[in-house]
Amino acid sequence: MNITTEFLQEVWHDMREPGAYEWWYFDAEDPSTGLSFVFIWFSGFPFSPYYTDHYEQWKSNGSSPSCAAPLPSDYSGFSFQLYENGLESINFIKEGRNGLFESSRSEVGVRFEKNSFAYDPLTDEYRITIDFPFPVRQKEVKAEIVFASKRRIRFEKKDGNNSGAVPLHQWLLSVPKAEVSGTIEIHDSGSGALRRIPVKATGYHDHNLGMKPMQEYVSRWYWGRAFSGPYDLIYYVVFFRNDAYKPLSLLLLHDNVRDSTRVLDALSFNEKSYSRGLFAPLHSRELELHAEDVSLRIHHDRVLDSGPFYLRFSSAMSINVNGRKIDGIRGISEFLNPIRLQSSLLRLFTRSRVWRDGESSIMYRSYNSVKHSFDWITNQKNITSPHQTSS
């Protein structure tokens, strides 16, 4: 796994190898209102049960003309997750064939259907436009968001395992911190109600890609970020399928008082307090990272989103820098176990989350029918939320 901050790597790589993937990730959070959200665009959706099925069929059939190799862009997608006060309000994932997705090898920007982002180099801003129907949940969502970069860094690290002779997997740490503003609109097509949610938040953006399926190279990873008065931080730890390969780890620490950034990439890492759910993978709820005069502790105390191979948390963190301990930091964390993508049973349940354009899925309709029946509870709570208006 290579790590880079090179801006030119932000463009679409148009990878065509079977199982290849690429995604652009944006998130934002406003602790004062309890609002957080995530946008992701995919070219080669690595967590798609449809993409994985096609890849495994092709791989088992070899060069048989009856099963053509999967093209990543035929498994493009877009996802939007909205959380309010620690509860999921919207979890939308749609994928489709080549034609719904559009990007460029020379300019930064992506479109999937009517959902797009474009980069303005003059202002160092990403302008995000969202417009999608969510018929199984009787919703329509639109948003206009400006994602203004407030910090970039310079850092490069190559995967040195096997003397560098490893498949290309890359994490581009594009924007460690951004100011995010705009409006999200949610129209309930059943009741006719319209919610307008003003956005004023702090955000983060990165870009991942790989030349082969993630589950064939990565065994698990942890990632997280937090913004606080004294320090902003980002951590990243990746373990590989090959036990002989050394895990990759990184801790970025920005001192907001001195306005200085440190990148530590020789970390000791400990996992504690393991947990698992009915469909959630085995994971550590307590993490410790140590390097030089810095130690970081992470407690995954609130699950925001869970699935057979993925967990997203609101996490409590504490950091000790040169003997000075700071508690009370909160941030967003993720855990991923891509190996579980190889389970055909778990892929069946993953279908409940993914709307595949042109495909009919009983799992998808059933899951969202149940979720829709509980939406009114969240809607009732949101009526009095101070960060929104309705009409």
Q: Are 148 and 187 in contact (CB under 8 A)?
A: no
pLDDT band at 390 (very low <50, low <70, confident <90, very high): very low
Spatial CB neighbours of 204, under 8 Å, sequence gap ≥ 6? 26, 27, 28, 175, 176, 177, 178, 225, 234
pLDDT at 28 over 80: yes
Predicted confidence (pLDDT) per residue in 96-149, tens digit: 998 999 999 999 999 999 999 999 999 999 999 999 999 988 899 999 999 999
Would you say the CATH fold of 217-350 matches that of 1-215+353-384? yes
Selected residue with higher pLDDT from 65 and 378: 65
Domain boundaries, the chain: 1-215+353-384, 217-350
Q: Which CATH class is domain 1-215+353-384?
A: mainly beta
Question: What is 217-350's CATH number?
Answer: 2.40.370.10
Q: Which residues pair with 122 in a beta bridge?
A: none
Residue 366: per-residue pLDDT: 63
The helix, strand and coil proportions of the chain, stated in percent and rounded to the nearest 5, come to 15, 55, 30
| ∠ CA 266-212-268, rounded to 5° | 15
User: Which single residue is written with the structure tokens 């899951």?
Assistant: 367
Phi and psi, residue 87, nearest 5°: -115, 145
Residue 131 identity: D
State mean pLDDT over 172-178: 98
Predicted confidence (pLDDT) per residue in 280-334, tens digit: 888 999 999 999 899 999 999 999 998 889 999 999 999 999 999 999 999 999 9
HEC per residue, 150-215: EECCCCEECCCHHHHCCCCEEEEEEEEEEEEEEEEEEEECCCCCEEEEEEEEEEEEEEEEECCCHH
CA nearest neighbour of 319 among 248, 386, 252, 373? 252
Percent of the chain at pLDDT > 70 equals 92
